[in-house]
Structure 1
Amino acid sequence: MAGRTSPILLVTSAFISVLIVVPICFLLFGMFWTSFPGDPNGTLSTEFVVKVFTGEGVPRHFNTLSLLSNTLIFSSVSSTMAVAIAFMLAWIIHRTNTPGRRFFDVLPLITFMFPAMLGDIAWTFLLSPNAGLINLYVNHPLGLPPFNIYGMGGMIWAQGLSLTALAYLLISATFGTMDPTLEEAARISGARNRQTVLKVTLPLAVPSIVSTWTLMLMIGLNSFETPAFIGLPAKVYVFMNAIYHKMSVDVPIDYGGAAALSFVSLLLSSVAVAFYLMSTRRLKRFAVVTGKGYRPKPIDLGKAKYAALGFLLVYVFVGLVLPVATMLLMSFMKFYTVVGVNPLDYLTLKNYAFVTSEPLMLRSATNSFILAGVAGVLTTGAAAAMSYVAIRGHMRGKRALEFIAALPVAYPGMIFSLALIWTALFLFRPIYGTMTMLVLAYIVVFLPYGMRTMANSMIQIHSELEEVATVSGASSLTSMRKIMLPLLRPALINTLMLVFIQSYRQLGAAILLVTPSTFVLPVVILHWWASGLLVALAAAVMIYGAILVAIVMFSRYFLKASLTF
């Protein structure tokens, strides 16, 4: 029988639990505090809560019902768009005889090699109503009305394309292993391909589709980049950019109003998480691979396979090639757009020279790398410790520990940053405005995903190995260090690199916490966009993307990280 859990592991787990729970309490307190965080002269009042739930004295676009409606429309419709496209991609690639389909299977991973904001910025370059490249060089010569990316429709378009790759990776696993017996039986019975898909394939995939859609919904609810780059110029507000507006634009800063909106957003995210957990529990009722031998057989589309190939090519062009090519072109331009002349006559390398010599950019790049590395190591260590306590520990309340560790799934990065501000200014003022704040935020935001990876791997290691070590006199800490950690090396590397990459890309959790000395790359890019430094911004995004590509390639091919949670 295993020995007692090491006090070091227990202390680590307790510290992380406090780090998660205490900021939530301070965020709730902030809803009722009339002054700024840390001010002892404030009083308790229901003013902000009344404004949030009644809309009294609040501009129409900040009305809670309006924010709730916009948030649900934005997240649900973009999730539906992403899942619909992903379903078609997965079906074509894994279940049909479309030419070159295997080549397209690796393309979704490429989208993860670029910063999340690349697509948002690229679509503003392409579809800006007055100076968008498509409007200038396609719509205007043809006499067509201009597209306008700024607004709810543009937000849904950009977010839907951004989420499609992740949705594809989740749904494709179902199609790749689906037993074709039922589909073949349908065809033998005279059903056409369309009938087979609608009446057999789609129902079998429904649980996977529902769980994937719910996960995309959660991501949409917590998304900040798309509402910031595309929603703010049109004054289209969802909870995330409304909270940002109250904290970064309003004068004076509306701390109480931001805390109240964060609470409502937190409730909404919690409901989405609960629905996601319910949907994933139902997956085992729809098993598509049994003990019976099977071999997935491609569906013969006949001449329609060329239409399917066309669909794949259109997606790759619109979702990957066009945004990346646009950002690359704009990064070499002397200014945003040139009306009536050939843009290729106005190319320059000065943007890259400016970006690589700008002190703020160099400092923020260094900060991003350091923060991502520290957050990756500490989050991986914390996830390993808490997973060990939850799975191998012999203590009461370990289920509560698992629950606490899962709370940040419903905790958008920006909301936790706000909660951390309230906590730091009341309890730990010396860490406010330091890199420590950012590291703590990253740890909490990515901890649930790290724990998922570590716990899944830890469950596969039988406890008899540790029991032998215990009988030999080893402590639980020694057992973990000499037995568990070597066996968990692949999971540790995978978690470390995933947290590193996601921390390097993180904007929502950083935007409220940075100071001039702690700027990170995504925040600098957002500020340059707001300042109109568009071509320099394009060069910065391309360099930023190149760094991420190098990190992903190094992780997959040298460290053998799978880069999946």
Structure 2
Amino acid sequence: MTATQTPPPTRPPRGPVPKPRLSRMPRKPSSFDTLTLVLAFTLIAIVCLPLLQVVIGMVWKDGEFTFEAIERTLALPDLWTLIWNTLVLVIASSVCAVVIGFLLAWVNQRTDARWGLLNDILPYLPFLLPPVAGAVGWIMLLSPTSGLLNVWIRDALSLFGVDLATGPFDIHTWYGLILVYTVYAVPYTYLNISAALESFDSSLEEASRLSGAGYLRTLRRVTLPALAPSVGAGFLLSTWFGFGMFSIAAIIGTPAQIDVIAVRIVNLLTFSYPPDEDLAIGLSAIVMVFVGLSYYIQFRILRSARFGSISGKSTQHNIIRLGPWRPVVRGLVLIYVLGSTVLPMIGLFLVALNGYWTPNIDWGGLSLDAFRSTLIHDPSAREALFNSLGLGIVGGFIGILAASFVSLYVQRRRTALGAGIDAAIKMPASISNMVIAVGILLLLGGDPFNLGGTWLILLIGYLALYLPQASIASDAAVAVVGKDLGEASTVSGARDWKTFLRIYAPLMLPGLIGAWALLFIRIVGDLTASAILSGTENVVLGFRILEVFNGGSYAELAALSSTLVLITGTVLLFVIILSKRFGVAKTQSAPRTRKARR
């Protein structure tokens, strides 16, 4: 027998293992990629060209280089009052929104006062009540003379010998305007701060308290510096919302003679003949400057962040036991939600069902007459409702489908081109809605397109304004699926279209349905773009509500606003039921999938 010698085992080489060199051969784009890139660049053009039109309009007119728009804007006699009013309103409401959003997030993430899933839903309830309907609801509640809540409070005070002729609250004041702005800005701040608290390791706070620092010092020296980027992002979103909000300022601020930039821009373009585009462009430029300043402040906050709070280890959340204060905190959260969302809804429905606005409600005579006369016998209201529903359905479908294609391309390719496309599509979130709407009107309203007041310009405007929300929601839907299933399908020889239809589309569908609902609600309840882009032949629901408000028909106003609330609530309920069914279907199909694999 011949002895065989086994070679000694080889030791692994020291140092880092060299990575295999990837092929640099360019990948031939598929038809799926080509369609996605066409959609992406179309969306980018819808977003960027209007902004470019505003910038060009400041220095170029009738083929000549001119500063007429800037000079006329600076010559406005009440310009500084206009700027001051806007800044006070936006900054005050944003600060209040940050404080309330932080407290709600802290209660939800750090205490035992939360109600589980209900606590996650409550801060977002103001989205159910579109701003135009919410502003009308608050007027019906807190108008100084005939506001329902004011009258009920006066009746209660009279039992104790306190007689008031008006009030005690007046919605047509600075504090009333700031209150309603704050209510609609809180969800933006809560979203950012709650996510940061969920990822923040509370052991850092515990270490600070063990070192002898009290709760307030720990909050000031540890918690707030770590959360500063998220607080700054929430403040930035609140200012973006405030500078672009038109409906609340028009409905509540105008009777109080509180004039802000957004309302003045709409008046110049919609309620002036001929439209004064120069002044509208100049005021839009001022808004762009202040939004840019907000971005600079957030950039400074990010640079001054002294330490990180998220590591590779799992985070620890020490829940604070509130003891006897637990029901008190829960009650305060419930009061906030009732006051911010439920009460305005009650005011709207009571006035609509009563048939006219009066504090003396005829409880036995409540009827649907106002809804019938408004939605059946008023052709303008009926047309506005159908136009809004059609734009919401079509715009939501187009927006979320295009955004899902782009999100899938960005996630699968991970290239500089994909990152640039993603950033460009999300750019409107950093610009005031008012500025984008003005740019779309300047670009498409006149020659050579002449789309002013048409259904198409409204659709383009809504897509430009709400693409960031669609893109963020579709990103989340794609992230749920991940890359492994798609890569396995590709390795198995399936083409991109088959992988999309058989793998990605079914798994992304629950998230995309929710994203469509969000887009639909935003489009149907929009007034910013509607007030600028809507025409007499294509009236939409938000603009019709503004017309009725100016005409003083309160029963019709309440009926239209209540209809808007019913539509958004029904769509949201439908989406929740559909999502649950998808969840049940996925749960039932999981054992079959595992059995098939075995």
Question: What is the TM-score normalised by the length of structure 2?
Answer: 0.80
Q: Distance in 1 between matches of 2:209 and 2:418?
A: 51
CA distance in 2, matches of 1:284, 1:465: 40
Offset at residue 507 of structure 1 (A): 1.4
Of 547, 550, 557, the match for 1:527: 547
5+ residue gaps in structure 2? 1-22, 584-598
Show the counterpart of 1:548.
568
1:19 to 46, 49, 57: 46
Q: CA deviation at 1:77?
A: 1.1
String of CA shifts for 1:166-224, please: whole Å, max 9, x gaps. 43343333444554434445565676655655555445444332322222222112212
Q: Which has the larger radius of gyration?
A: 2
Equivalence for 1:349: 368
Deviation of 1:434 (Å): 1.8
C-alpha distance in structure 2 between counterparts of 1:200 and 1:28, whole Å: 42
Please say if 1:253 is aligned against 2:306: no
Aligned residue pairs, count: 546
Q: What corresponds to 2:357 in structure 1?
A: 336
Aligned to 1:266: 288
User: Which residues of 2 match residues 83-482 of structure 1 at below 5 A?
Assistant: 83-98=98-113, 103-139=118-154, 141=158, 142-143=162-163, 146=167, 147-176=169-198, 178-185=200-207, 197=219, 200-273=222-295, 275-276=297-298, 285-288=307-310, 291-292=313-314, 294=316, 296-338=317-359, 344=363, 347-357=366-376, 358-390=378-410, 392=412, 398-455=418-475, 458=478, 461-462=482-483, 465=486, 469=490, 472=493, 474=495, 480=500
Match of 1:72 in 2: 87
Give the secondary-structure state (helix, strand or coil) at the position aligned to 1:215: helix
Measured in 2, the distance between the counterparts of 1:293 and 1:412 equals 36
CA shift for structure 1 position 441: 1.0
Give 1:301 shift: 2.7
Distance 1:485 1:95 in 2: 37
Of all paired residues, the percent bearing the same amino acid is 25
How far apart are the structure 1 equivalents of 2:415 and 2:465?
A: 26
- Alignment-mate amino acid for residue 28 of structure 2: G
Structure 1: give runs of 5+ residues left out of the alignment.
35-39
* CA drift at 1:246: 0.9
Q: Cα offset for 1:255?
A: 1.5
CA contact under 8 A between 2:226 and 2:307: conserved in structure 1? no
Aligned-partner residue type, residue 94 of structure 1: Q
CA contact (8 A) 2:51 2:435 kept: no
Displacement of 1:549 in angstroms is 0.8
Change beyond 3 A, Cα 1:207–1:556: same
Matches of 2:35 and 2:542, distance apart in 1: 35
**CA separation in 1, counterparts of 2:488 and 2:127?**
41
- Provide the secondary structure at the position in 1 that maps to 2:469: helix
Cα displacement (A) at 1:364: 1.6
Instruction: Give the match's secondary structure for 1:298.
Output: coil
Match of 1:50 in 2: 71
**After the TM superposition, which of the residue ranges 490-499 and 531-540 deviates more from structure 2?**
490-499
* Cα drift, residue 45 of structure 1: 3.9
Q: Scaled by the length of structure 1, what TM-score is found? A: 0.84
Distance 1:554 1:284 in 2: 45
Structure 1 window deviating more from structure 2 (445-454 vs 360-369): it is: 445-454
Q: In 2, are the aligned partners of 1:411 and 1:445 still within 8 Å (CA)?
A: no
Cα distance change of structure 1 residues 205 and 423 upon mapping to structure 2, 3 Å threshold: closer
1:193–1:301: 8 Å Cα contact kept in structure 2? no
Residue 7 of structure 1: aligned partner: 34
The answer as to whether partners of 1:124 and 1:149 remain within 8 angstroms in 2 is yes
Look up the equivalent residue of 2:82 and give its one-letter code. Answer: L
Are the structure 2 counterparts of residues 102 and 550 from structure 1 closer, same or farther at C-alpha, using a change threshold of 3 Å?
closer
Aligned-pair CA distance for 1:160: 0.8
Q: Aligned-pair distance for 1:392?
A: 4.5
Q: Corresponding residue for 1:37?
A: none
Deviation, structure 1 residue 551: 0.6
* SS across alignment from 1:303: helix
Query: Separation in 2 of the partners of 1:119 and 1:539?
Result: 13
Look up the equivalent residue of 1:84 and give its one-letter code: V
Distance 2:494 2:199 in 1: 46
What one-letter code is carried by the residue in structure 2 that aligns with 1:16? Answer: L
Post-superposition offset of 1:156: 0.7
Distance change (3 Å), C-alpha of 1:169 and 1:15: closer
Contact 1:99 1:305 (8 Å CA) reproduced: no
Distance in 2, matches of 1:293 and 1:110, equals: 29
* Separation (CA, whole Å) in 2 of partners of 1:300 and 1:280: 32
- Once structures 1 and 2 are overlaid, which stretch shifts more, 363-372 or 297-306? 297-306
